[in-house]
């Protein structure tokens, strides 16, 4: 197939690498980045957020399938335009993508579909924020109601900080004040054709900037998959997946379909497992699964570990979703071998990343056994043969697989040890809890 992937992050690079592994495809990326250039033809001049331009390009170049990576093109209506022209596209239309873009819309859909989630109050003024903060109590959770690249959320014991965070967004519109939910988090991805869903293997993301879950929320600093502790709570990973499919994914997909806005793409369920906690015999009976957020796209960096383990052809899965034939597809299969990813971030990320610095040692890192790299914010060298340059906050993902989490961790951190980026930082505790 001729496949166009929109986006420029490590998620998109991971998608392209999974497609490349299958062999036999012609791959294109818009805009892509310096690392993606080794695995796909870049179309840097194509504006991925311009519905008309993407549709023209896909039509002129006989693209068989467009895969939309980030949320911005979804919100801009790129999928709607492609679908209108009859071009297969993996990614929801603008209306269904509001599941991610508008936390208030997501809450309404969950209410209508009877999907379990925490309490939330919409607050448009300082007085309303004050009242809601007092009603829920500490720890305080405040979210911007719109796209904030994972940085619109604050979770804090500090009431003044929660209020200040809310005030920084109030000019732009209401914020959500939420009930604090406590428990392990799971990212579970569902491929949907608007009617049928197929779950991928669960992953866990590390949202905070620093070790021990300290520091501010980020887009994600690392991830691992599978989650061996799910079997302790639910009997098996499959039992967990079946429960989330029945309690969360199917009701939401049905609700969106009933409202005339079918969701064709990747439904990312960000879940928190509340209650329980101890090893259970009742197979998750006293664990509640609550939704903290939905995204309308693959997660970054969870995609890097989920796709590293995917054995079924990704192109087939996404094409079936795009063309409404997912029902005929078998459940995707995954390697039992663990995968972990560690994100290398620029100095100052997430507050004010310092960019434009050379990155050395990538070849040595990539040749570490069991390791591959997915590039995010990298640009070509200033001069031929020079080093790549960092261009943003999350620079790249190091992905490692191994027979055990301990081995995957050893490999990932050995590879990171080969890379030099002045001021660069990464977490040292990714998947430490599950490594023997």
Contacts to ligand GLY by CB under 6 A: 150, 205, 220, 295, 299-300, 302
Does 388 interact with ligand AMP (rule: CB under 6 A)? no
Q: CA 344, 348, 349, 354: dihedral to nearest 10 degrees?
A: -80
Q: How many CA atoms within 13 Å lie on the side-chain side of 358?
A: 8
Q: Which of 27, 63, 79, 153 binds ligand AMP (CB under 6 A)?
A: 153
Q: Which one, of 13, 4, 19, lies nearest residue 374 by Cα?
A: 13
Q: Which one, of 255, 16, 263, 222, lies nearest residue 114 by Cα?
A: 255
Q: Which does 153 bind (CB under 5 to 8 A by kind): ligand GLY, ligand AMP, none?
A: ligand AMP
Shortest Å, Cβ 149 to ligand GLY: 8
Query: Among residues 193 and 293, whose Cβ is nearest to ligand GLY?
Result: 293
- CB-CB contact of 230 with 186 (8 Å): yes
Q: Which of 180, 229, 283, 432 binds ligand AMP (CB under 6 A)?
A: 180
**Which positions from 251 to 290 touch ligand AMP by CB under 6 A, shown as an x/- string?**
-------------------x--------------------
Q: Which does 185 bind (CB under 5 to 8 A by kind): ligand GLY, ligand AMP, none?
A: ligand AMP
Q: Which does 300 bind (CB under 5 to 8 A by kind): ligand GLY, ligand AMP, none?
A: ligand GLY
Query: Among residues 11 and 198, whose Cβ is nearest to ligand GLY?
Result: 11
Query: Among residues 297 and 357, whose Cβ is nearest to ligand GLY?
Result: 297
- CB-CB contact of 341 with 334 (8 Å): no
Query: Among residues 248 and 400, whose Cβ is nearest to ligand AMP?
Result: 248
Q: How deeply is 62 buried, as exposed, middle or buried, from its count of CB atoms within 10 A (0-12, 13-18, 19+)? A: exposed
Query: Among residues 16 and 273, whose Cβ is nearest to ligand AMP?
Result: 273
Q: Is the peptide bond before 31 cis (omega within 30 degrees of 0)?
A: yes
Q: What are phi and psi of 425, to 5 degrees?
A: -140, 155
Shortest Å, Cβ 219 to ligand GLY: 6
Q: Which does 43 bind (CB under 5 to 8 A by kind): ligand GLY, ligand AMP, none?
A: none
Does 302 interact with ligand AMP (rule: CB under 6 A)? no
Q: For the chain, how far is it from start to end, CA to CA, in angstroms?
A: 42
Q: Which of 31, 150, 215, 358 binds ligand AMP (CB under 6 A)?
A: 150
3-class state of residue 281 by DSSP: coil
Dist CA 25 CA 1 (whole Å): 5
3-class SS shares of the chain: helix, strand, coil, % to 5:
35, 25, 40
Q: Which does 302 bind (CB under 5 to 8 A by kind): ligand GLY, ligand AMP, none?
A: ligand GLY
Does 36 interact with ligand AMP (rule: CB under 6 A)? no
Query: Among residues 121 and 303, whose Cβ is nearest to ligand GLY?
Result: 303
Dist CA 267 CA 100 (whole Å): 9
Which tokens is 413 given? 């951190």
Shortest Å, Cβ 66 to ligand AMP: 26
Shortest Å, Cβ 25 to ligand AMP: 32
């Amino acid at each position: 197939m001729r496949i166009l992937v929109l986006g420029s992050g490590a998620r998109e690079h991971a998608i392209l690498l999974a497609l490349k592994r299958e062999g036999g495809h012609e791959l294109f990326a818009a805009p892509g980045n310096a690392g993606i250039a080794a695995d796909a033809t870049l179309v840097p001049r194509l504006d991925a957020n311009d519905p008309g331009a993407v549709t023209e390009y896909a039509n002129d170049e006989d693209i068989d399938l467009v895969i939309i990576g980030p949320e911005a093109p979804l919100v801009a209506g790129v999928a709607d335009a492609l679908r209108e022209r009859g071009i297969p596209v993996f990614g929801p239309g603008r209306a269904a993508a509001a599941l991610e873009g508008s936390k208030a819309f997501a809450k309404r859909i969950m209410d209508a579909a009877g999907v379990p989630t925490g309490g939330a109050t919409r607050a448009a003024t300082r007085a309303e924020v004050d009242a809601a903060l007092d009603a829920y109590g500490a720890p305080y959770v405040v979210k911007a109601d719109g796209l904030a690249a994972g940085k619109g959320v604050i979770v804090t014991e500090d009431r003044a900080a929660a209020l200040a965070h809310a005030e920084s967004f109030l000019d732009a519109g209401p914020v959500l004040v939420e009930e604090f939910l406590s428990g392990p988090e799971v990212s579970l991805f569902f491929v949907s054709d608007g009617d049928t869903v197929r779950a991928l293997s669960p992953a866990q993301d590390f949202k905070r900037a620093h070790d021990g879950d300290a520091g501010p929320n980020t887009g994600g600093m690392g991830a691992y998959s599978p989650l061996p502790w799910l079997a302790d709570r639910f009997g098996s990973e499959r039992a967990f997946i079946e429960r989330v499919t029945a309690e969360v994914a199917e009701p939401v997909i049905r609700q969106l379909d009933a409202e005339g806005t079918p969701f064709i793409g990747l439904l990312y369920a960000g879940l928190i497992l509340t209650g329980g906690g101890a090893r259970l015999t009742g197979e998750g009976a006293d664990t509640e699964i609550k939704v903290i957020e939905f995204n309308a796209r693959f997660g970054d960096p969870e995609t890097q570990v989920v796709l590293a383990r995917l054995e079924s052809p990704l192109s087939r899965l996404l094409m079936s979703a795009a063309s409404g034939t997912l029902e005929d597809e078998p459940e995707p299969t995954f390697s039992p071998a663990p995968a972990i990813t560690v994100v290398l971030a620029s100095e100052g990320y997430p507050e004010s990343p310092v960019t434009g610095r050379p990155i050395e040692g990538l070849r040595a890192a990539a040749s570490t056994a069991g390791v591959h790299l997915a590039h995010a914010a990298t640009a070509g060298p200033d001069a031929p043969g020079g080093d790549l340059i960092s261009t943003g906050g999350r620079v790249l993902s190091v992905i490692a697989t191994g027979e055990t989490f301990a081995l995957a961790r050893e490999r990932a951190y050995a590879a990171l040890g080969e890379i030099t980026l002045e001021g660069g930082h990464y977490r040292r505790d990714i998947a430490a809890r599950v490594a023997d």
